[in-house]
Every structure is written in C-alpha cells, then in structure tokens.
Amino acid sequence: MAYSDKVLDHYENPRNVGVLDKSDPKVGTGMVGAPACGDVMKLQIKVNEQGIIEDAKFKTYGCGSAIASSSLLTEWVKGKSIEEAGKIKNTQIAEELALPPVKIHCSVLAEDAIKAAIADYQMKAGAKDSKADAA
Amino acid sequence: MKKPIYLDYSATTPVDPRVADKMCKYLTLDGEFGNPASRSHPFGWHAEEAVEEARANVAALIGADPKEIVWTSGATESDNLAIKGVASFYGKKGKHIVTCKTEHKAVLDTCRQLEREGFEVTYLDPEPNGLLDLGKLRAAIRPDTILVSVMHVNNEIGVIQDLAAIGKITRERGVLFHSDAAQSTGKVPIDVNAMNVDLLSMSAHKTYGPKGVGALYVRRKPRVRLEAQMHGGGHERGMRSGTLATHQCVGMGEAFRLAREEMATENERIRGLRNRLLNSLKDMPEVYVNGDLEHRVAHNLNMSFNFVEGESLIMALKDIAVSSGSACTSASLEPSYVLRALGRNDELAHSSIRFTIGRFTTQEEIDYAAGLVREKVAKLRELSPLWEMHQEGVDLSKVQWAAH
C-alpha cells in the first residue's frame, strides 16, 4: 500500500515520542486500543494552570498510519487549551494525513486517545479540587 | 547490492533466465508457436513434443508417470479441480472431507464452497509447532470420508507435513489423499508412490518457472476419477479442457528439470543462509520462531518480534521485501489465521515477519537484512507502549483492553 508523504514523514521522524510522569497531577494519560486489534496508543498531556497543554508525548504500537496519527496529534494539541484539544476530530487527522479508508480507524483511535488523556487529567484535577474543598 | 532486497521467494520466484530463454522459443513465427492439439501439420506436432517433454519433466520431479500429469493454470486451479472433482465424482459414496486449518485459502475456500453444496468438512487443528497429530487425523476419518487434503509445505511457516505417514493412513482406510505441493516442489523430495498421494497440486512460479501455469498429478493405479470443472475440447484426457499454453508448459517443465538436478546442492546453500539469518536475530529479546524448525523447508524463516506491529515493521524494512502474518495491510484487521491456528496470541500473530530466501539471495544481502531488522525492531520498540509495559513487568494478558 502506498502511504502519503505526510504519513511517511511522521512515521520516519515521529514527533514527541516519550513518557511524562503519570503520577504528576498536571499530567493526563490516555491509553486506547488493544493488541488483538493490532494497535495501542498511549497519549500523555501536561496541562498548566491556565488549562493550556504545554507538553504532549506519545507511544504507539500499530501500523504506520497509527504512528503518524498520534505523532501529528501531539503536534496539534501542544499550546491548545484542553477545550480546544477536545474538539479535534478524527476527520481532520485523516484529511491532513490523506489516510485511505482502511486506515480511518487509526485517526479514530487518535481522537479517542486525546479524549481519554483529557478525561484522565480532569478526573485527577477534580479529585484534587474535592480534596481542597474538604480541607 | 541492489535494493530493495527480495526475501519473499514463497510469494513468487523470478523466472530462471535458462527457463525464460527456453520459453521464448515457443512464441513467435520463427519458433514453435503451433497449437499442441493440431494433429494435421508439423507446427502442432512440434508444439506437442515440447509439451510432452515438459510433462515428463514435471512427472519426474515427483516420481510420477507423465500420463498422470494434467496441466492447469496454477496451484489454485489444481486444488479446485482435485477437491471439487473428487467431490462431484465420489459424492454418492460419501460427503465428508478432512483437511487442516492451516491450509492455503485455495483449499479452505474450496471446502467452504462444498459445505454450501451439502458436504461436511472437518478442519483439523495443527499442533503448536504447525504439524498435524496423525492420531487426530486417523480419528477424524469416518466411513463416509472420501478425501483427505493436507498440504505438503505450509506457505507461511514452511513446516513439512509427513505425507508418507498420512498416505499410509488414507490408503489403509480407502480414502483419497490430496496434497497441495505448491511450496514444496524443488524444496523437498517428493515421491507420490512412496507417499501414497493420489492427487498433488503444483505451481510453476514458486519454483523459478512462469506464473499462470501449474499441474495436477492424478493417480492412475489405482485409478482416481475426477469430474471435470472446465469443459470444452476434451484436452488433458477430458479432465481440463482448453488449449495448452505451450511456452508456459515448456517453462514449467524446464524449471522442474532444473529443480530436480540442482535441488540438493541449492537447498544446502539456502539452508546456510537461512541459519545465518536466524543466528543473527535469535539473541534479541522477545523474538520467537513460528513453526517447527526441524521439519521445515530450508528457505523459510518466520519470526515474531514481540511488541512491534508487523505492518509498521515492514514499512521500516522498506529496503527488504518480506511479508507479514499481520493482515492489517488488507481491509481486515485479523492477524494471520495460520499463526492463530498454532495458538499464537494476538500480539505475536500481529508481530510476525516471513523471510523466504531463494536461488539468487547472497550472503551480503542476508547480513544487510539482519542488521536492518535489528536496528528497526529496536527503534519501533522505543515507540511501543507495549514494550514499555513489558519492561515495567506488566503482564499484558491481564490488562483490560478497550477492543475497538
């Protein structure tokens, strides 16, 4: 199968590969997919006091399109507020990377990953707030 | 060294230049272009002679009589003709067929079709090493069983089934025995009489011959009857009508003649290269050879690189042409049904690469491939959350995954 130049670029030079400290309350971690389906994405975001994503890292087990989708997403979310990041749609990723129909699920997985990371961050922040309230 | 390096000889082989040279003599006006079925002039007679010489070469490689060879378009057609032909002819005697889950789709899908037509098929599970348990095979044969179909060499993992032992069982039980030998001609010695094989499918293009031609061996003593699947001018003793493609038959005959002459020395050289590749990869952590190493053709190495997805690895290995047991490249996300049948878990099935070596592979190419695989597997593992979890000691089989 022929991949688009953008997929190849992200695949060969993936951006923001790595790990953030998942015990840090400012870090949200999302892991989606399953080995049985051939792809697992782990996406992490670090959110500052103003609710802006100041750093993002990923690791992906999957095909070239899955790796490219998560790499692109980390580039896009950096500097965005969590509200803006939560509005990124899989269709935007698929369009940017010119994914063929059989690879659309890779972009869906990337969207799921950022939503899961945001939810994890908000859950941690909520837990912290309620602790603060209690005190 | 020319790149990409071809290491996919089980998908197809290049035509040997000696074969191509010979084929070219049977196409043009100044060659022998006649119809082998033309009986009224030398053009036909000469073409017929060429086809018969080729037929004798195909027969000689498997220890058969030339009269037992039927030309077809390839192993898929041979499988169809053998299985459907037997089912139609012997259907009144019984409607049960035994085969194996790791067969090629040309056998499995033909069996599925027969199930829709009222036949019953038993699909045997192979052992974890890919080989059939003969006790299970024996137990699966019933009074209404008419055919057992078991491939000689598996296309993905290269394991060699014990045809002689299977043939002994089928002969004792009075059941016909078909074997798909597309992957074994020129790789493993075949003797249809010693093995008691009744029908054997062959392909030219896996053995340095051209694509588009194959053959089916059909035993004459005791005689095996087939219902034709292609009707017309009654060629090939009525079993497969259609004008013979003289140049294709000549190509297959020449390729099989070379295989007979060179097989022993060639396989030793190739085995050396395969072992060299294996030895340069096997010390990596979390790599697994799929299928039995002992009962295996010399040219096949199928390995799983755990925690790396097969398609992305193939993409990283773009300087070598290999194939993956992960079918993510097609519309389906299912991993290889062959590896699943061996009981490999999903991660390993998704992480497999098949290297198949051949006549034109060099040691330099093998060394380059091994270095590239080591480098790219390490790179992709750095990218893999599963590798990270494994390093942290997480048992991946215990994780609740959100399947999608």
How much of chain A, in percent, has pLDDT values that exceed 90?
80
Please report the residues numbered 349 through 378 in chain B whose beta carbons come closer than 8 angstroms to any beta carbon of chain A: 350
Residue B326's pLDDT is what? 56
* Residue of A37, A70, A112 to mutate when probing chain B, most B C-beta within 10 A: A37
**Between residues 275 and 334 of chain B, which touch chain A (CB distance below 8 Å)?**
307-312, 315, 326, 328-331, 333
A63 assigned to active site: no
HSE, CB side, 13 Å, CA atoms: give it for residue B44. Answer: 7
The DSSP call for residue B239 is T
Contacts of B10 (CB under 8 A, 6+ apart): B155, B156, B158, B183, B206, B299, B300, B323, B354, B356
Query: Which residues in chain B show pLDDT less than 70?
Result: 325-334, 403-404
First-to-last CA distance in chain B? 43
Mutate to test the interface with A, among B309, B340, B384, B396 (most CBs of A within 10 A): B309
ipTM value, please give it.
Answer: 0.91
Chain B residue nearest residue A32, CA to CA: B402
**pLDDT tens for each residue of B355-399:** 999 999 999 999 999 999 999 999 999 999 999 999 999 988 888
Nearest CB among A17, A34, A59 relative to B401 is that of A34
A66: which chain B residues are within 8 Å (Cβ-Cβ)?
309, 312
Instruction: Give the integer Cα–Cα distance in Å for B362 and A59.
Output: 36
Distance from CA of B300 to the nearest CA of A (A): 24
Contacts of B319 (CB under 8 A, 6+ apart): B3, B4, B5, B368, B372
With cut-offs at 50, 70 and 90, classify the pLDDT of residue A132.
low
Contact between residue A55 and residue A88 where contact means Cβ atoms under 8 Å apart: no
Cβ contact B258:B60 at 8 Å: no
Smallest CA–CA distance, residue B307 to chain A, in Å, is: 7
**Beta strand segments in B183-268, E:** 199-203, 214-218
Residue B330 with chain A: CB contacts under 8 Å: 102
Count CB atoms within 10 A of the CB of residue A24: 12
Query: Does any CB of chain A come closer than 8 Å to the CB of residue B402?
Result: yes
pLDDT band, residue A37 (cuts 50/70/90): confident
Q: How far is CA B401 from the centre of its chain?
A: 36
Minimal Cα–Cα distance from B399 to chain A, Å? 9
Mean pLDDT on A44-67 = 95
Are B274 and B301 contacting, i.e. CB atoms less than 8 angstroms apart? yes
